[in-house]
Structure 1
């Protein structure tokens, strides 16, 4: 769950297929034209099962354009519909940030407050402010670094135990000294919300955000009895997907636990950016670039020369993106129940179609049978002093893992490269003069980063 893509494909996107150009448009093209273009853009990804889900676009108060693509359930063969409910991963962070700012508007806390004021278990650390946790400069470790997460696969935990574990972790850096994206920091913010409000995180969001704004499908924990959520899948092989269990809400509270339909995300952006929720002062804090292109729970950047406020999400079984173009009053939401960064290309090309920019239509990749000696690739590859990619083999699959992140399968291509359908990245293993694998190149083209093999 990162605010920016971990792939390097956009620079090479024109290699994927035919480029279309429609000239420059000041506003969204006619809905009928745009609907056709969205179908054309999404079709190759849906055919490859790299995307199954819903696309939603709305400008101002105009009627939204919502389209469903692919299957909601592989096992049942049921098609997606416009009202499907998906786990939205790190798109959840903006709701946590908004909840904190609501409490500041209520004069219950300040973003300048030290976290240990509300969570004494953090008192042994140097002072960490709420602002630093919101802006990812706190130094709080990540939930994926917790032994409890590794031992349970994120399936079993109590939220208080997660907070205690995070408090026991050493800080990754002095608070405020640098940016380092941390899901753990947002878990701590959820704990602050609970301590100061006396209300569970999900119940606070329901009472102060979901119900007042009419977000009927949004929830922190759908529970087994709640209808609607679509099952999540992870890609494997050249075109298959496999069902995965969602990570327990206790691990993702604050950072990535929320579920929503596309309709509710459109409504959320209308309310948030239309002044219905936060005071002007709080909204300015929310959307301000506090460093590294990050506000409070949202990234602040440009796409096709246009300002964007938004965030993406990737969590077991799901991928999402929510972007707001303030000058155009335009929202684009992408929800998928396939955990694949194909989402990045889809959001890019849909924005291109909306704004009359060039976009690409994907073409099928030519996959090959895996080599017999996968062990030859196993090892650790150093891309920098603090960035190691580990390659391993499990059940006949070659897997890549960056630092303590999740595993992504690498599938061989006929040209000798490998492709990660989860990360939507092409990689290449290079050999030394003796024929041994010595280096891993991540991406394609000149200047693609390379990691030397350590063992």
Structure 2
């Protein structure tokens, strides 16, 4: 959940390390991890901000596995740690590893033009290389942004060529290699490169080279006609309750986002990336080194909680995924959700911090109901966005615009924080009366005046 201006999420698909600092197998540095992590999961589940499964592991040994919410709300089927979820753009990690695997075999060269493998590309894309596609520095326009894509194309069975046709005549966003912009088209093209270089269909290549050898029996490429056991249905949480996630054909995601998996299978994927089974040390070093904008070759690369953090999120209608690796600690966190507002990335990052012993959340304080009542009411900013604050029991609940409710946790006499988003709320008073609400997110204050 993010404050879009204030609190919302909506997206479509949106190597070689030392283990010297690793904790003993199966043990987080924080000795109170189980209690703190259990409460974190319970809180986001109670607020219905998260429905899905989570896993935390040290050196390949799970230290936390939990499932909350329902895999199917029509039939009231609960999620389990073995529920299969669509993982959206986390698929890109598999596509990237497949390319580096083919590089190791001498079948693909990173700095060759993509047109060498896909002769049908427009002449204006001649300067685009495989490396640029992997790092989102190609300038190739994103087919997800094509006119009518969400309204029409996601409802149709697609091929790689039909998806490419959506942007074939569109100018490049920038000169190849000159800038960075996330592009699902880049990974569409990489899927086509994999098929050309390997002589196999993209789903077959992944199954034969990765899923079967690693025992990832719960991971696969979704198709429109597939019957997939234990697959969750996707949902959206609205202010008025739950709604079915928007329909999307799996083929419209292809190599950019058409995979499904489980938290356990993604742990197997994680462990295979510590040695040379899939990609050489040189290839892993390339993947896990940032090129631009904290992005390497198919992997987000950043520092979190003072640690190197590589991984990839995923969002596809009705689902969210977060796959996080802290290789120097041999720490893995996976959060898969069948809710489009599933706060998977926030929860996964928080669980990593709790495992590492970081003070993730401010210390909570207890406030009297009468004090909380003094903050309730409506607040509006200069842009007309309405925020409504109500008391429910011993806590405040906040509604931002038409978005779902979020719980506020007291950190002081008039300050609060959220567990669904990195946002702080503080109430200002004058002459003993609350007259404004200040919401701080990403270092910026948003001021809402009380509606009298």
Unaligned runs of 5+ in 1: 11-24, 378-397, 399-409, 429-440, 451-455
Secondary structure of the residue aligned to 2:57 is strand
Q: Is the 8 A contact 2:23 2:29 kept in 1?
A: no
Aligned-residue offset at 1:61: 3.8
How many residues of Structure 1 are paired with residues of Structure 2 in the alignment? 385
CA distance in 1 between counterparts of 2:404 and 2:151 reads 26
CA distance in 2 between counterparts of 1:443 and 1:144 reads 31
Instruction: Tell me the equivalent position of 1:389.
Output: none
Instruction: Tell me the equivalent position of 2:401.
Output: 418
Q: Is the 8 A contact 1:97 1:296 kept in 2?
A: yes
Q: Is the 8 A contact 2:323 2:333 kept in 1?
A: yes
CA distance in 1 between counterparts of 2:214 and 2:300 reads 23
Q: Tell whether 2:25 aligns with 1:42.
A: no
Q: Is the 8 A contact 1:418 1:426 kept in 2?
A: no
CA distance in 2 between counterparts of 1:219 and 1:53 reads 18
Q: Which is further off, 25-34 or 177-186?
A: 25-34
Aligned-residue offset at 1:299: 0.7
Q: Is the 8 A contact 1:85 1:229 kept in 2?
A: yes
Per-residue CA deviations over 1:45-100 (Å, capped at 9, x if unaligned) read 21222211111111114345311112222211122111010011111101000111
Q: Is the 8 A contact 1:5 1:341 kept in 2?
A: no
- Alpha-carbon spacing, 1:137–1:412, altered in 2? closer, same or farther (3 Å): farther
Aligned-residue offset at 1:38: 2.2
Instruction: Tell me the equivalent position of 2:231.
Output: 229
Instruction: Tell me the equivalent position of 2:328.
Output: 327
Instruction: Tell me the equivalent position of 1:77.
Output: 76
CA distance in 1 between counterparts of 2:62 and 2:422 reads 36
RMSD: 3.6
Q: Which is further off, 118-127 or 173-182?
A: 118-127
Q: Is the 8 A contact 1:8 1:425 kept in 2?
A: no
1:2-401 equivalence runs, <5 A = 28-29=27-28, 33-126=32-125, 127-147=127-147, 149-152=149-152, 154-159=154-159, 160-221=161-222, 223-237=225-239, 240-340=241-341, 342-360=343-361
Unaligned runs of 5+ in 2: 8-21, 366-371, 391-397, 406-419, 426-437, 448-452
Secondary structure of the residue aligned to 1:302 is strand
Instruction: Tell me the equivalent position of 1:391.
Output: none
Question: TM-score, length-normalised on structure 1?
Answer: 0.75
Secondary structure of the residue aligned to 2:256 is coil
CA distance in 2 between counterparts of 1:367 and 1:201 reads 54
Q: Which has the larger radius of gyration?
A: 2
Aligned-residue offset at 1:329: 0.9
CA distance in 2 between counterparts of 1:32 and 1:326 reads 20
CA distance in 1 between counterparts of 2:387 and 2:211 reads 41
CA distance in 2 between counterparts of 1:121 and 1:427 reads 51
